[in-house]
Amino acid sequence: MKFIDEYRDAVAVRRFARAIARITTREWALMEICGGQTHAIVKYGVDELLPPQIELLHGPGCPVCVTPVELIDKAIEIAARPNVIFTSFGDMLRVPGTSGDLLSAKARGGEVRIVYSPLDALKLAQANPDREVVFFAVGFETTAPANAMAVFQAAQQGVTNFSILVSHVLVPPAIEAILGAPGNRVQGFLAAGHVCAVVGYEEYYPLAEKYHVPFVVTGFEPLDILQGVYMVVRQLESGRAEVENQYVRCVQREGNRAAQELVRAVFEVVPRKWRGIGEIPYSGLGLRAPYAAFDAELRFDLGDYHAEESADCISGEVLQGKQKPFECPAFGTLCTPEHPLGATMDSSEGACAAYYRYRRREVAHG
Ligand code: SF4
């Protein structure tokens, strides 16, 4: 398949792996941000092709994984209200809240539906004018334009029974939190190609300069990732800390200006709590005042929630690259995809799910 097969070509993959080995003279710890990249690395064994001096740390770029417990609890409460149709992408339905998940709310009689786009949820609201339709707007910069479009269209068309429960997070503030944390080990980043396709990569220049770490915008196929690693290692070995773009077939430096303008018109930057990590300043999006009528938290008067995370779950450490999933005592025993204790096991993009699916032997071997 064009644009897939050539990026999974085994001969080219081995050639790049050998090229990385040739230029590596010491130990380096790199982080891939995105859960999609983590899955590709674990699925294709990309990390096992690298020289032993290079360690890949898995970052917090799984939106389902970082949605705080409190927001899951709020979603469950809204879904339980009569007259509500609660809509979401399928991967949010089994994320554990304090007591249960959206699937269990559905089993108790709540009307919870899977949709494939926020615009589908908007259509549902237009088709059911006597019901309140809520969409769970979760994601990084990649999903923000579609969610902004749904709210924008609802406002334009005077739809008054549609709202969104917002859990939008932003990548650069999370990277800065990781780089500024005591004991940080990350020396270079593979930046997520799809995020940069929307927002570009200008925001990484000040981070590269301030922390003296290289960034390479990287795609999602095995060859993309190996080339991204090669470009980061080449910079590290020569003492450079620059921003480069491996994913040139999709990403331009300035990103998608039209999408950015729409997001800026509907959302503003706010502080956000990240599951397992805590609050990060300026790390999320919330609806601007003119669109407050579409804010489900205000519409349903939910107030403040406080929730404790499972004491057995170390997903905060996993999300910051400090521990690998198989280092969690619950991995594969108390915590499995069928009975996840944390979102990194439940989410299809979570690092724990990736290791469980492709590296189960590491449970048995400790
Ligand atoms: S294996 Fe389960 S309990 Fe352990 S960190 Fe991952 S999600 Fe949390």
Q: Mean pLDDT for each consecutive 10-residue tract of the chain (366 residues)?
A: 84 94 98 93 94 95 89 95 96 87 94 97 98 97 97 98 97 94 94 97 98 97 97 98 97 97 98 89 96 96 81 89 92 90 87 88 49
Give the number of C-alpha atoms closer than 13 A to the C-alpha of residue 204, restricted to the C-beta side: 27
Number of Cβ within a 10 Å radius of residue 166: 25
Atom of ligand 1 nearest to the CA of 343: 7
Please name the residue whose Cα sits nearest to atom 3 of ligand 1: 313
Secondary structure of residue 339 in the 3-state scheme: coil
pLDDT on residue 365? 45
Output the six-digit token pair for 43: 């699925």
Q: What share of the chain is helix, strand, coil (3-state, %, to 5)?
A: 45, 20, 35
Give the number of C-alpha atoms closer than 13 A to the C-alpha of residue 281, restricted to the C-beta side: 2
Ligand 1 touching residue 65 (CB < 6 A)? no
pLDDT on residue 306? 84
Distance CA 316, CA 320 (A): 6
CA of 51 to the centre of ligand 1 (A): 28
Please name the residue whose Cα sits nearest to atom 8 of ligand 1: 313
Instruction: Calculate ∠ Cα 189-190-193, nearest 5°.
Output: 140
Distance CA 232, CA 244 (A): 9
Distance CA 159, CA 288 (A): 17
Q: Which residues contact 264 (CB under 8 A, 6 or more apart)?
A: none
Atom of ligand 1 nearest to the CA of 315: 5
pLDDT on residue 135? 98
Please name the residue whose Cα sits nearest to atom 6 of ligand 1: 352
pLDDT on residue 309? 77
CA of 33 to the centre of ligand 1 (A): 18
Ligand 1 touching residue 195 (CB < 6 A)? no
Atom of ligand 1 nearest to the CA of 331: 1
| Backbone dihedral angles phi then psi of residue 252, each to the nearest 5 degrees | -115, 155
Distance CA 89, CA 113 (A): 9
Distance CA 65, CA 298 (A): 24
Ligand 1 touching residue 328 (CB < 6 A)? yes
**Would the pTM of this model clear 0.75, i.e. be above it?**
yes
Ligand 1 touching residue 331 (CB < 6 A)? yes
CA of 94 to the centre of ligand 1 (A): 14
CA of 341 to the centre of ligand 1 (A): 6
Distances, alpha carbon 323 to alpha carbons 56, 103, 107, 121, 203, in Å: 11, 30, 35, 38, 27
pLDDT on residue 311? 83
Distance CA 86, CA 115 (A): 10
Query: What is the pairing mode between strands 278-287 and 162-169?
Result: antiparallel
pLDDT on residue 166? 97
CA of 211 to the centre of ligand 1 (A): 30
Could you list the beta-strand ranges (E) of 63-214: 84-88, 111-114, 132-139, 162-169, 188-192
